[in-house]
């Protein structure tokens, strides 16, 4: 929900840092790998019950994720880079609550619900974004155009930070975030349905009429 506004606020700082890294010969892919390893470190720290270390590694993951995009824009963003970055993000997004469920058995049902809503929201995100991108209705500065919604990257950062800071409250936190992700999935479905039911141009150039 706040991702677009947050990107506008952080863009100047990220762009300056990206320019400095590009000047020193860094590549966006290296930061993507470093960010993913930080995320894996957060997962490992949770497994070891080192919650503060996990929180720090999670924030390192998110900072590096922001920097790899800024660096990619300086050196030339690619679809491959965007694709691998998305895979890296989703592996950590799903891995963290999963390991929380391992060490906090009371959170297992909430984790299952959260992962189900992730599955639904991710399906609507990727399928819907592909459709809207083809129709020119999902444009932003990223290499992959993604549908927005109530729970996006900023909300995930906050939710996981709260989860790692107060792990004993994991069931309540995950149930609440699962509800937000579920609403996001519904928002994405509604947006795509509205676009597909509106007049527009098909890929073959013919006029598409609403059903």
Q: Could you read off the pLDDT tens digit of each residue along the chain, which spans 211 residues? A: 554 555 555 566 666 766 676 667 777 788 899 999 999 999 999 999 999 999 999 999 999 988 887 777 776 667 787 888 889 999 999 999 999 999 999 999 999 999 999 999 888 888 877 777 776 654 555 555 566 676 777 889 999 999 999 999 999 999 999 999 999 999 888 888 887 787 654 433 344 544 4
**What CATH fold (topology level) applies to the domain 3-208?**
1.20.120
Give me the pLDDT at residue 157, please: 92
CA–CA dist 157, 134 (Å, integer): 30
| End-to-end CA gap in the chain | 30
Residue 80's CB: how many other CB atoms inside 10 A?
Answer: 10
Contact 22, 51 (CB under 8 A): no
Residue 78's CB: how many other CB atoms inside 10 A?
Answer: 13
Contact 181, 151 (CB under 8 A): yes
Give me the pLDDT at residue 202, please: 46
pTM of the predicted structure, to 2 decimals: 0.80
Map out the domains of the chain as residue ranges: 3-208
């Amino acid at each position: 929900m706040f991702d677009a506004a947050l990107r506008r606020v952080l863009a100047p700082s990220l762009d300056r840092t990206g320019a400095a890294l590009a000047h020193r010969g860094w590549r966006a892919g290296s930061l993507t790998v470093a960010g993913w390893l930080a995320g894996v470190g957060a997962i490992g720290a949770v497994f070891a019950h080192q919650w503060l270390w996990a929180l720090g590694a999670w924030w390192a993951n998110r900072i590096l994720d922001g920097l790899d995009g800024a660096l990619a824009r300086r050196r030339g963003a690619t679809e491959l880079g965007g694709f691998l970055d998305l895979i890296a993000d989703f592996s950590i997004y799903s891995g963290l609550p999963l390991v929380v469920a391992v060490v906090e058995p009371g959170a297992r049902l909430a984790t299952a619900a959260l992962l189900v809503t992730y599955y639904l929201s991710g399906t609507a995100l990727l399928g819907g974004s592909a459709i809207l991108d083809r129709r020119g209705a999902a444009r932003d500065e990223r290499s992959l155009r993604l549908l927005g919604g109530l729970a996006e990257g900023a909300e995930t950062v906050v939710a996981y930070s709260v989860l790692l800071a107060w792990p004993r409250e994991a069931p309540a936190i995950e149930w609440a975030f699962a509800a937000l992700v579920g609403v996001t999935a519904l928002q994405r479905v509604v947006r795509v349905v509205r676009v597909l039911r509106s007049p527009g141009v098909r890929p073959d150039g013919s006029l598409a009429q609403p059903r």
